[in-house]
Structure 1
């Protein structure tokens, strides 16, 4: 039985990387695989429980952020003690060297670095560690071409797209009516955003856009799904329009909330390949994204890119114009076909990852 250890360098939280990990574990044939998943930095108990229910084992290690040296040696010790053959480390910078070096010292022959973004916050550390990083990984994976170029440059890498479960995210009129009734928004324009409250997600600019929308459509509602350190600041920012901005928090049924939305907006400062953009298209939702986001995620005619340098009223014009073209059921059906054609079906991609693990 092949032994694999998986690490998310941001912790097991409700974010894109964790969603990728759990989605692949759900879709993969895990026979003949003994899979360990590291819990470090922060870890949501619901996510840990879900991973354990899939037959994987959670490995509790010291915080990668607060005690990196202790974390490093603990990881290396665990890998050697348990004869781990594959380490699969997910992140967005050469600080992945921590996991890769732990794997090397632990005797792990296969060391997979998986890039999920097009830039990082630890700029100096990334630059310093690049030479070591390039020596340590044996396999290079990326969620998209731009994310691969960012971390691996002109070195060889394989794009493994962030696949989604098309059945889970496909449009349902029955579920839409049920959710809109439950949320009491039957007569409202519902604008959605999914993402943690971090600088990268650019919530401040999103609020500016929504204020413009409210000026023209007073019955509009903005649904913010997610949590994070900047949430309190954003809540203060919208105190005067609080009835129109709904802070949903972290939920397990994001797909149900999507059904209730009319359009999604993602004005991020940077992204790798945002999973949510694929999910929105599967659901038939018009999606307005910042042009800093890779166009790899655009697989239908429901996506529009806008510059962050444009004024909020320009974004509002886009939103109102895109709403007029909505045809959810037809858009969802077309998107599902295109998702599969463009390599975003999770079950197809899980077979590829399984083959990498076992080869």
Structure 2
């Protein structure tokens, strides 16, 4: 058995994002004498996970953020890095927009294995999105392995042909399911702390970004508030509140829209939280109207905790493991989403940890599979 495999993960940063959280979930459950993770990021700013990465034995390296005008200087920086760091057995690229630049450079520098990992099924709007698609156009030919968190993500990043021909490998966005098991005690403690003991709590977890569609979510919530007097289906006729966890450039715009819609006093902007699993306990319903996703780990977390969920039909079906999930059209009037939530608001909540584990979304089993892959090139643990 090979010893001390070093894998370099290429990310934009080490903040509390989806890809970053999934990589860290995996790293915490690795046997770090067998496999060690290091990180190449595109910023010099300190990240949320920096301290933990170093405590776990990983190193963090930096290259400049790619912008179209710095193509040559970016390429040179990446080349210089890999020429000076040939100690890795694998490079796994989670930034697929520039993977066609850095993965071939890593391969030429002597890194044995290169991996492109598709984690999103869409791109930003405007010129940035067009450039991302253009730079990904031949990515399927520039990596040894093509990982994808869903079929939609694989098609978006590598193309339909690569998926159809079986060139992609499905890697579930696994979590530590046990942390999200429904816990009534934690639920009541956090609801008391937030002052929402007698409220019906709508929840959302995600960075404030175009993909997450917070403006539509706020319109849905505004419709729920309008219909509150008619909510005879809800036990005790509880008032609605909305918990928003996450940060990002769109947060101030969301705050302004909440004010405009007259719901600001009911919307809790909670930022990033380390104990995110506790906040799922405090929620009653999870609403996720994203424009696009790869495979949202938040939907895995919500189901494990036993929450009713309604998500957009643009999100891959692989994530809908339990009967808790319902899909709706984000082109529909927000009032239709509000009506559905109101009509299905009362249910008996229980954990669905075992179902999520059996579906392959538990990080303990996934860590064993990935260690086997890094060591032997296959997934037989």
Q: TM-score, normalised by structure 2?
A: 0.87
Question: How many angstroms does 1:132 deviate by?
Answer: 4.2
The CA deviation at 1:302 is 0.5
Q: Secondary structure of 2:48's partner? A: helix
Aligned partner of 2:150 in structure 1 is 144
206, 211, 219: which one pairs with 2:222?
Answer: 211
Q: Deviations over 1:316-346 (max 9, x none)?
A: 1111122112x222xx1xx212112111111
Q: Which of these residues, 349, 355, 358, is aligned with residue 372 of structure 2?
A: 355
Question: More deviation in 93-102 or 261-270?
Answer: 93-102
**Structure 1 residue 69: Cα displacement:** 4.0
Does residue 297 in structure 1 map to residue 297 in structure 2? no
Runs of at least 5 residues in structure 1 that lack an aligned partner in the other structure: none
In the alignment, structure 1 residue 220 sits paired with structure 2 residue 240:
yes
Per the alignment, do residues 52 and 149 of structure 1 end up closer, same or farther by CA in structure 2, a change over 3 Å counting? same
**Partners of 2:168 and 2:294 in 1: how far apart?**
15
SS of equivalent to 2:161: coil
**Per-residue deviation, 1:45:** 3.3
Q: State the Cα deviation string for residues 137-170 of structure 1 (Å, max 9, x = none).
A: 0011011122123222322111010111011111
1:76–1:105: 8 Å Cα contact kept in structure 2?
A: no
Report the counterpart of residue 86 of structure 1 in structure 2: 90
Q: Is the 8 A contact 1:77 1:106 kept in 2?
A: no
The answer to whether structure 1 residue 281 and structure 2 residue 303 are counterparts is yes
1:117–1:147 contact (8 Å) kept in structure 2: yes
CA distance in 1, matches of 2:213, 2:137: 32
Distance (whole Å) between structure 2 residues aligned to residue 45 and residue 117 of structure 1: 21
Secondary structure of 1:220's counterpart equals: strand
Shift of residue 68, structure 1, vs aligned partner: 5.1
Any idea what SS the aligned residue of 2:341 has? helix
What's the counterpart of residue 233 of structure 2?
none
TM-score, scaled to structure 1: 0.92
Deviation at 1:216, TM superposition (A): 2.3
Q: Which moved more, 1:95-104 or 1:238-247?
A: 95-104
1:80 to partner: Cα distance: 2.8
Give the aligned CA root-mean-square deviation in angstroms.
Answer: 1.9
Map residues 59-138 of structure 1 onto 2, 5 A cutoff.
59-65=61-67, 67=70, 69-83=72-86, 84-91=88-95, 93-121=96-124, 122-130=128-136, 132-138=138-144
Aligned residues: 352
Give me the whole-angstrom Cα distance separating, in 2, the residues matched to 1:53 and 1:113: 26
Alignment partners' CA distance in 2, 1:150 and 1:221:
35
- 1:157-196 matches, within 5 Å, as 157-196=168-207
Deviates more, 1:215-224 or 1:254-263: 215-224
Task: Give how far 1:135 is off.
Answer: 2.8
Q: CA deviation at 1:63?
A: 2.4
Secondary structure of 1:206's counterpart equals helix
CA distance in 1: counterparts of 2:137 and 2:309, whole angstroms: 39
For structure 2, the 5+ residue unaligned runs are 230-238, 377-381
Q: CA deviation at 1:2?
A: 2.6
User: Could you say what secondary structure the match of 1:117 adopts?
Assistant: coil
1:230 matched to 2:232? The reply is: no
CA distance in 1 between partners of 2:118 and 2:306 (Å): 28
